[in-house]
């Protein structure tokens, strides 16, 4: 196999040298690079291959250099000095490598960003993995398209301060705000800023998929008639500390019977439990026992102690009974499907709930699932 590989390389090198036109030489360069990349090279052969690549990197024909860059853009065969040389070449040669090559260090990529070429900044921002220092450089110095590409790249490690800098620089860009909002993980400080800047659809995504402080959700709800409706029930599912969440709501007089009924009807049993515990001044474990294990009078006792309206008790009773029945049937109470199933079954019982709450629940029943993250970015150069 080694002898065959050596002959193949010799033949291709000879073809490259003897080729009479640019297209033929580029085709020979492509074949040569592909064969070297696929071969299992010894250390000595690898050094020989890299000498050939250094020769190709200085070829006078742009098409030959581009053939090498495109063929080996993701390969670890290209040495760093060759990658750096090609990164300073014309865009058609440089961009494939800047976008993909593992040969670059973070320092190399930061240098490329600092040089100021918009196309090259975009290529850095869209790499398969972007380190934190590189992301910070793009956030600070990158053009609008580069920052948008970075924000849409979930494989970019973007520090909280860098995300904040993106908002500082391009908070008026709907595309960048949306790209940041649809990242898989967002710091609370960034989410809080984005809810003021985002479109209705993006704001809905933020408050249902990322944590925001209760006061922010309540403040947004105050102008819900003009802007997107902020759903505190959905918001609660993103909080690990429901005790603190419900305490915050109660301090602002937002922990109402209406909110708890909506939560229960949508399968948010934990929010209902913690809400009753907060209103009744009872530890959560005791509230849980009274709701689930204290017989038919336990729920009534803690409900009355919480000071909730007597006229709504039967609706709450129907909600708890529905939740228990579905749980007994083996439903996964943590999933989105359960919430829809719970809501459907609850509404079929025609609960004696206020009209505005029933309207809310019917609207949630008809609401489409949250759309997947939109594709935000640019085509490869």
Distances (CA, A) of 369 to 28, 205, 300, 336, 372: 52, 11, 34, 9, 9
* Residue 369 pLDDT exceeds 60: no
Question: Angle at the Cα of 153 (from 149 to 159), degrees rounded to 5?
Answer: 100
Quick one: residue 350, left, alpha or beta (phi over 0 = left, psi -120 to 50 = alpha)?
A: left
To 10 degrees, the CA torsion angle through 253, 258, 262, 265?
Answer: 130
Instruction: Please state whether the predicted TM-score (pTM) of the whole model is above 0.85.
Output: no
130 — phi, psi (to 5°)? -125, 120
- What pLDDT, on a 0 to 100 scale, did the predictor assign at position 231? 53
Question: Angle at the Cα of 306 (from 303 to 310), degrees rounded to 5?
Answer: 50
List the beta bridge partners of residue 33.
Answer: none
- What pLDDT, on a 0 to 100 scale, did the predictor assign at position 25? 81
293 — phi, psi (to 5°)? -125, 10
- What pLDDT, on a 0 to 100 scale, did the predictor assign at position 88? 95
The per-residue pLDDT for range 221-230, each reduced to its tens digit, is 444 433 333 3
Residue that the structure tokens 């849409």 belong to? 152
- Average pLDDT of the segment spanning 27-32: 87
* Residue 333 pLDDT exceeds 70: yes
List the beta bridge partners of residue 156.
Answer: 130
- What pLDDT, on a 0 to 100 scale, did the predictor assign at position 264? 83
* Residue 362 pLDDT exceeds 60: no
Are 204 and 236 spatial neighbours (Cβ–Cβ below 8 Å)?
no
Q: Whole-number mean pLDDT of the chain?
A: 80
Are 128 and 155 spatial neighbours (Cβ–Cβ below 8 Å)?
yes
CA dihedral sign of residues 223, 227, 229, 235: negative
Residue 155 vs residue 215, higher pLDDT: 155
* Residue 282 pLDDT exceeds 80: yes
Are 293 and 287 spatial neighbours (Cβ–Cβ below 8 Å)?
no
- What pLDDT, on a 0 to 100 scale, did the predictor assign at position 350? 61
Rounded CA separation 278/264 (Å):
15
The per-residue pLDDT for range 189-202, each reduced to its tens digit, is 888 788 777 766 67
- Average pLDDT of the segment spanning 260-270: 83
Q: DSSP letters of 249-310?
A: HHHTT---HHHHHHHHHTT-HHHHHHHHHHHHT--HHHHHHHHHTSHHHHHHHHHHHTT--G
* Residue 96 pLDDT exceeds 70: yes
């Amino acid at each position: 196999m080694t002898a065959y590989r050596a002959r193949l390389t010799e033949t291709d090198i000879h073809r490259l040298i003897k080729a009479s036109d640019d297209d033929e030489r580029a085709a020979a360069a492509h074949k040569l690079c592909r064969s070297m990349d696929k071969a299992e090279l010894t250390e000595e052969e690898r050094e020989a291959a890299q000498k050939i690549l250094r020769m190709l990197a200085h070829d006078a024909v742009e098409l030959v250099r581009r053939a090498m860059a495109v063929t080996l853009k993701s390969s670890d065969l290209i040495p760093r000095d060759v990658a750096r040389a090609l990164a300073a070449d014309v865009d058609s040669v440089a961009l494939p490598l800047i976008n993909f090559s593992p040969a670059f260090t973070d320092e190399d990529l930061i240098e490329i960003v600092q040089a100021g070429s918009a196309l090259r900044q975009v290529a850095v921002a869209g790499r398969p993995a972007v380190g934190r220092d590189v992301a910070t450089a793009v956030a600070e110095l990158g053009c609008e398209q580069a920052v948008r590409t970075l924000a849409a790249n979930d494989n970019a490690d973007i520090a909280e301060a860098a995300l904040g800098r993106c908002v500082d620089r391009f908070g008026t860009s709907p595309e960048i705000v949306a790209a940041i909002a649809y990242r898989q993980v967002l710091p609370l400080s960034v989410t809080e800023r984005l809810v003021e800047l985002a479109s209705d659809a993006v704001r809905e995504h933020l408050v249902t998929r990322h944590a925001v402080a209760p006061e922010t959700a309540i403040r947004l709800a105050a102008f819900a008639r003009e802007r997107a409706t902020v759903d505190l029930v959905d918001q609660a599912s993103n909080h690990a500390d429901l005790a603190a969440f419900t305490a915050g709501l109660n301090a602002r007089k937002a922990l109402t019977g209406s909110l708890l009924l909506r939560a229960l009807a949508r399968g948010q049993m934990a929010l209902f439990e913690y809400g009753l515990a907060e209103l009744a001044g009872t530890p959560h474990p005791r509230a849980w026992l009274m709701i689930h294990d204290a017989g038919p009078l336990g729920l009534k006792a803690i409900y009355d102690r919480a000071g909730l309206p007597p006229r709504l008790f039967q609706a709450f009773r129907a909600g708890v009974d529905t939740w228990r029945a579905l749980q007994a049937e083996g439903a996964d109470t943590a999933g989105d499907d359960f919430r829809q199933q719970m809501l459907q079954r609850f509404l079929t019982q025609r609960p004696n709930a206020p009209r505005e709450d029933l309207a809310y629940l019917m609207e949630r029943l008809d609401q489409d699932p949250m759309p997947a993250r939109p594709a935000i970015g640019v085509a490869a150069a």
